[in-house]
Amino acid sequence: MNGGAGASVEPRCVDFPVKSVILLLEVPVLYLYCRGQMPKTSWGLRPTPLLWLGLIFTAGMIYWFLSFDHFREKHMPPSPVGAKSLPDPFMESPELRALLQLLHWPAPPEDAVAFASSTSAEKSHYRLLQSQSNYTVGNMLLVSLEARDQRGQPKHYGGDFLRAKLHSPELKASVAGTVEDHKNGTYTLTFPLLWAGAVQVSVRLIYSSETVALLRRIRDSHPSTVTFRGYFVDPGQGSKEEVTECNVHPVSGPTCQYVDPGTGEHWFCARPQHHSCNDLVYHSTGIYKNVLSSAEKVFLSGAAAERIIPGSVPIIQVLPSHQLTVATSPPLPCHPGLALTNPSGFYYKDVWVSLGCSSRTFPTSDLALSCLRGKIVHMIGDSTLRQWWEFLLAFIPSVKHIDLHVTYKSGPLLAVEPAQGLVLRWRSHGVPLRTGKSKMADIHYLANELHALGGGPDMVVVFTLGVHFITFPVHVYVRRVHSIRQAVAQLLARSPQTTIVIKSANTGYTVYGSDWLSLQLDNILRAMFAGMKVAIVDAWAMTSCHYLPENIHPGKVIVQNEVNSFLSYVCPGK
């Protein structure tokens, strides 16, 4: 569960009563001594205060060590007191407060709004804000949207989660629109006109503001909305495998607590009856908790979520501007540290064109391979990043998969191209991780993996982190990203030439309405890495405006564009 440094997981059962007893004993002893009532020793001298302190301390330590092993297997009722993680200055820092501000989202005035008063996509409407006699490449298109509730009444507050795009289906061209919430039930949508041709607007209500409020309330009021399984095995004993519930917080009853020495991250499993905490060998996903009442489920049902909003914006013919029929990337080579533009890019003929740097395409396997020649690529994250690994494996025929005989869904996975010296690794980030039954020791915390890398000009590190964290309060994610950021900063300090790329979250996950939850985490991720020498592949933008149906595992053409964007940072060219 911890890093590549090879240290093993330290299971620790909570031993608070023992420590408290020692502390409680020490206090009156010290008090008596200070009052001068300490008994004299047999040779009639009062020992110096320092000696006494030393003796008390030593006795306390010996007792502590002895009692630890003694208690933990026999009498210890591990208590949920372990829920308090180690004091972490970051969790009280101004930065964290600023990050939480970033999550601000307009909310309905009351907590419980009847479904009939929630925003209806079908009853809402949008129109052109101001029409021009003609439109050319480089102009902006402004659209005004009025939200209405299920009864058709205008809404008077904002917070609807909208997704808007401008697109030309025949050209396979599209760009995401910017949504401005006026917080009075109206929204202004802005679309840059980036190519000539017939363009149309498409707007969807992903979740009403009432649904967003519900998602937020669930996120903030449950320590988790999923569970995991821990499998306890002791082959030496020949005993049967025991399975208990595990999570990022203590589960009810006696608990095994696992503290990762590298990151300080905690993991908890219900204590097995016939095994010790050390016998935790496998991990897998558990269940999705049923946290929604039937009245609440309506808000997330297909009839209410991800619905098309009707509009009266006609198909618009965009004219070229001074012979320019399509916007191009700026000549600036892509490099880590570049801030993303808004929008960060657009699709034209199914190719993503970055508006921040000179994005390249790698249409043939030879081009991709020559970019990756001699590179050691470490991909660490979730299945959306495994798609990159799978894409490169399929795209470059000479890249071969080496079977490491692990659970495929959590890895680690290895592919090599020996002739060109290319190594492609993928592995999952640490728990929490929804995956098939996998060896716990194969699942490493991301920061530990980074700590174990020497880095260098031939090393490329790409990671992603998000969709496995939407089922917990935000601080779980913030704490994790904080440790990763530290590891990134240290890696860049010891090896500044290492290329580090972050794949942002992508859209298309529907469990518990996660696109809004994913976006919140993604905003945190971007903010926490702002100003650092890392590149961000804006998968969010690439998935939110494409014509393929939303899918947490996007289709091949999108993955190819994500990989091209990634390779543009690895091989900026020119």
Ligand X SMILES: *[C@@H]1O[C@H](CO)[C@@H](O)[C@H](O)[C@H]1NC(C)=O
Binding residues (CB under 6 A) for ligand X: these are: 132-134, 182, 184, 186, 319
d(CA 79, CA 254): 6
In the complex, least distance from residue 144 CB atom to ligand X, rounded to whole angstroms: 9
Closer to ligand X by CB, 185 or 554: give it: 185
In the complex, least distance from residue 325 CB atom to ligand X, rounded to whole angstroms: 14
Whether the CB-CB separation of 378 and 462 falls below 8 Å is answered with yes
Closer to ligand X by CB, 132 or 341: give it: 132
In the complex, least distance from residue 125 CB atom to ligand X, rounded to whole angstroms: 13
Closer to ligand X by CB, 187 or 529: give it: 187
d(CA 487, CA 490): 5
Closer to ligand X by CB, 104 or 322: give it: 322
d(CA 478, CA 338): 22
Length of the chain in terms of residues written: 574
* Six-digit token string for 77: 């009722």
Name the DSSP letter for residue 494. Answer: H
In the complex, least distance from residue 188 CB atom to ligand X, rounded to whole angstroms: 8
In the complex, least distance from residue 180 CB atom to ligand X, rounded to whole angstroms: 9
Closer to ligand X by CB, 133 or 273: give it: 133
In the complex, least distance from residue 502 CB atom to ligand X, rounded to whole angstroms: 35
Closer to ligand X by CB, 117 or 551: give it: 117
Closer to ligand X by CB, 158 or 554: give it: 158
Closer to ligand X by CB, 135 or 232: give it: 135
Closer to ligand X by CB, 157 or 540: give it: 157
In the complex, least distance from residue 114 CB atom to ligand X, rounded to whole angstroms: 22
372: left (phi over 0), alpha (psi -120 to 50) or beta: alpha
In the complex, least distance from residue 190 CB atom to ligand X, rounded to whole angstroms: 14
d(CA 574, CA 532): 24
In the complex, least distance from residue 178 CB atom to ligand X, rounded to whole angstroms: 15
**Crossing angle (nearest 10°) for helices 365-372 and 556-570:** 40
Q: How many helices (H) and strands (E) does the chain have?
A: 12, 26
Whether the CB-CB separation of 254 and 271 falls below 8 Å is answered with yes
Closer to ligand X by CB, 58 or 325: give it: 325
d(CA 256, CA 73): 11
**E strand or H helix at 70:** helix 49-73
* Six-digit token string for 35: 């009052």
First to last CA, the chain: 42
Whether the CB-CB separation of 554 and 543 falls below 8 Å is answered with yes
In the complex, least distance from residue 135 CB atom to ligand X, rounded to whole angstroms: 8
In the complex, least distance from residue 544 CB atom to ligand X, rounded to whole angstroms: 25
- One DSSP character per residue, 321-364 reads BTTB-B----SSPP-TTPPPPSS-EEEETTEEEESSS------S
In the complex, least distance from residue 147 CB atom to ligand X, rounded to whole angstroms: 10
Whether the CB-CB separation of 395 and 368 falls below 8 Å is answered with yes
With 0-12 CB in 10 A as exposed, 13-18 as middle and 19+ as buried, what is 31?
Answer: exposed
In the complex, least distance from residue 181 CB atom to ligand X, rounded to whole angstroms: 10
Whether the CB-CB separation of 278 and 37 falls below 8 Å is answered with no
Closer to ligand X by CB, 160 or 265: give it: 160
Q: Which residues pair with 166 in a beta bridge?
A: 175, 201
Closer to ligand X by CB, 186 or 190: give it: 186
Closer to ligand X by CB, 178 or 186: give it: 186
Q: Where are the beta strands (DSSP E) in 413-550?
A: 413-417, 422-428, 438-439, 459-463, 499-503, 535-537
In the complex, least distance from residue 123 CB atom to ligand X, rounded to whole angstroms: 15
Whether the CB-CB separation of 359 and 565 falls below 8 Å is answered with yes
Tell me phi and psi for residue 357, to 5 degrees: -155, 175
* Six-digit token string for 260: 């990762």
d(CA 198, CA 174): 11
- The 3-state secondary structure of 71-132 reads HHHCCCCCCHHHHCCCCCHHHHCHHHHHHHHHCCCCCCCCCCCCHHHCEEEEEEEEEECCCC
Closer to ligand X by CB, 134 or 273: give it: 134
Whether the CB-CB separation of 525 and 466 falls below 8 Å is answered with yes
